[in-house]
Amino acid sequence: MSSRILSVLVENHSGVLSKISGLFTRRGFNIDSLTVSETEDPTISRMTIVVKDDDSMVEQINKQLNKLIDVIKVIELDEQKSVFRELALIKVSLNQNNRSVITETVNIFRGNVVDVDNKSIIVEVTGSHDKIIAFIELMKPYGIKEMVRTGLTALERGGNKNSP
């Protein structure tokens, strides 16, 4: 099974996220990643939903989503025609021996140091899922104290606008 990315435009009001997640739960589908945010129009939110399912399941999900009153539009994003990003904040143990190596690695990955003290450093890394995973793997030997990641977020390239 491959990952499939759905961009779902919905009415921006309370209860919509619950309805959509409930739809997935009732059907036994798992959401691998979910991000939700207001769009340029404050009455509309965009959900980026990542699922690992076969074609028939994604087709069923798409049909079920389109039946919901609060759903405006559902499209499946093509990896070749879209831009995908994820963000991670990672707190890593810091000491005099590893400070320069960690900082150098952050720079190579075009990350940002957002906080530092004598015992830890918090790094922000943005990029593809694979880039985030690669950075995490490089930080593990130094001791990851805490970590938080956004879900995948995406937009279709070019002049196409996925709005109503």
DSSP string for 21-41: HHHHHHHTPPPSEEEEEE-SS
pLDDT tens digits, 3-32 = 889 999 999 999 999 999 998 888 888 899
Residues 59 and 94 in one domain: no
CATH code assigned at 120:
3.30.70.1150
As a whole number of angstroms, the distance between CA 145 and CA 124 comes to 14
Whether 133 is in a domain gets the answer yes
Q: Which residue segment(s) compose the domain that 136 sits in?
A: 83-153
pLDDT digits (tens, 9 = 90+) for 69-89: 999 999 999 888 999 999 999
C-alpha span between 154 and 132 (Å, rounded): 15
CA angle 112, 87, 106 (to 5 degrees): 30
Judge whether 49 lies within some domain: yes
Task: Say whether both 68 and 89 belong to one domain.
Answer: no
Question: Domain check: are 64 and 30 in the same one?
Answer: yes
Looking at the fold, whether 63 and 89 belong to one and the same domain comes out as: no
Euclidean distance between CA atoms 144 and 141, whole angstroms: 8
Residues 94 and 147 grouped into a single domain: yes
49 and 88: one domain? no
**CATH code: domain of residue 45:** 3.30.70.260
Residues 39 and 45 sit within 8 Å (Cβ to Cβ)? yes
Q: Which pLDDT tens digit goes with each residue over 140-159?
A: 999 999 999 998 999 998 86
Instruction: State the pTM of this model.
Output: 0.82
